[in-house]
Amino acid sequence: MKCPFCGHSETQVAETRVSEDGDFIRRRRQCGACDKRFTTYERPDVNLPAIVKKDGRRIEYERAKLLASMNLALRKRPVSIEQVDSAIERIEEKLLNLGLREIPSARLGELVMRELKKLDKVAYVRFASVYRSFEDIDEFKTLVDEVRR
């Protein structure tokens, strides 16, 4: 594994941990040249379904895009990185269990909203208001009332 800091090709594993649910392995590595440490994650390589956008385009599922959109909704909210990672793992597990080659982006959005609702109500409202493209304040109010119940 190449060092992300200096590019040296020889790094050593300093520590290895298996996640609580056993879905991935976390490795702390140390560069032999610059002595800096970094973390890598080892996950099984699985084929997640392609995402079918509203306009009909098909794109590959990208974990980084999902993480970025969830982090945007969770900005300045008291939710840990571990909680977000667990939510993404649950979403990906649901996608795999569906056994589909393609999934509409709307269905993926619903899965994200379901996880955000469990994590943080404010983040859920933020994501839903953008995702559902609210046109007026009444739609927003209806969503907030739903969350309060």
User: Cα dihedral angle (55, 133, 65, 104), rounded to 10 degrees?
Assistant: -40
Which phi and psi (to 5°) does residue 28 adopt? Answer: -95, 125
In whole angstroms, what is the distance from residue 60 CA to residue 58 CA?
7
pLDDT at 105: 93
pLDDT beyond 80 at 138: no
- Spatial CB neighbours of 124, under 8 Å, sequence gap ≥ 6: 73, 113, 116, 117, 147
pLDDT at 37: 96
Mean pLDDT value across residues 30-52: 91
In whole angstroms, what is the distance from residue 34 CA to residue 37 CA?
9
Of 70-79, 118-127, 136-145, give the lowest mean pLDDT range. Answer: 136-145
Sign of CA dihedral 69, 127, 100, 84: positive
The answer to whether 105 and 53 are in contact (CB under 8 A) is yes
The runs of H, that is alpha helices, within 44-104 are 63-73, 81-98
pLDDT beyond 90 at 137: no
pLDDT at 16: 95
Q: The pTM is what?
A: 0.66
Residue type, 120: D
Q: For 7-118, where are the E strands, in sequence order?
A: 11-18, 25-31, 37-42, 50-52, 58-59, 102-104
Instruction: For residue range 53-83, list pLDDT tens digits in order.
Output: 999 999 999 999 999 999 999 999 999 999 9
pLDDT at 130: 79
Q: Is 70 exposed, middle or buried (0-12, 13-18, 19+ CB in 10 A)?
A: buried
